Amino acid sequence: MKIRILKLTSESLAGLLQGKAASFTSCLPSDAEVLDVKMDLFTKQVSMVVRSESFEDVAEAMPIPEFNLSKPTDVKTMPKSAVTVKPQAVKPQVVPEPKSMVAKLPTPQPSRIASKMENEFSPEQRKLLSFTAKENCVVVKPVMFLKAEWDDINEVVRSLGGKWVKGDIISYWEVPLE
């Protein structure tokens, strides 16, 4: 498979759709074609699957590699109008660095209390749960339907003084802070 994943911010994609030039477009091969586009609303990140014959072939069992956007622009590939030098002496100017076109994921800052609570559960159980610290309790939510695991997790929560809270749509455990 000669494909790569190209990740952009939603703002950079909007700029491209509006016809604004982007620094990375010159790095894309001329035969590049977009196969799929997905938007992650939480991270405001757009992922594009791009195919080109110039990409290195990747085995189907391997994950799709990311297209590296941080390549410096080569003077040879720039249009001549951008390379022409005026005969006058040019004073160096300090130009602010442009905002990165690559999407940056938000850095999660987990609460110490929620992290301590996570350690009470086995690694297998932690994969099935999400932990959120509120003002007077830690909310433990299942991230998927729990079958046989529910009883074991409920036992751990009850040993910590917590209880199951049945909701109309979402149910969860609450463990009070000591």
Specify the pLDDT at position 163: 94
Q: Which of 39-43, 69-73, 78-82, 170-174 has the highest mean pLDDT?
A: 170-174
Instruction: Convert 76-90 into a string of H (helix), E (strand) and C (coil).
Output: HHCCHHHHCCCCCCC
Provide the CATH number for the domain formed by 112-176 in this structure.
Answer: 3.30.1360
Nearest to 29 by CA among 1, 7, 47, 3: 3
Q: Where are the domains of the chain?
A: 3-81, 112-176
40 vs 102, residue with greater confidence? 40
- The span from the CA of 84 to the CA of 87, in Å, is 10
Specify the pLDDT at position 104: 56
**DSSP readout, the chain?**
--EEEEEEEHHHHHHHHTT---TTGGGS-TT-EEEEEEEETTTTEEEEEEE-TTSPP--TTSPPPBPP--PPPPGGGS-HHHH---SS-------PPPPPSS---------HHHHHHHTTS-HHHHTTEEEEE-SSEEEEEESS--STHHHHHHHHHHHTT-EEE--SS--EEEEE--
Which tens digit of pLDDT belongs to each residue from 108-120?
Answer: 444 566 777 788 8
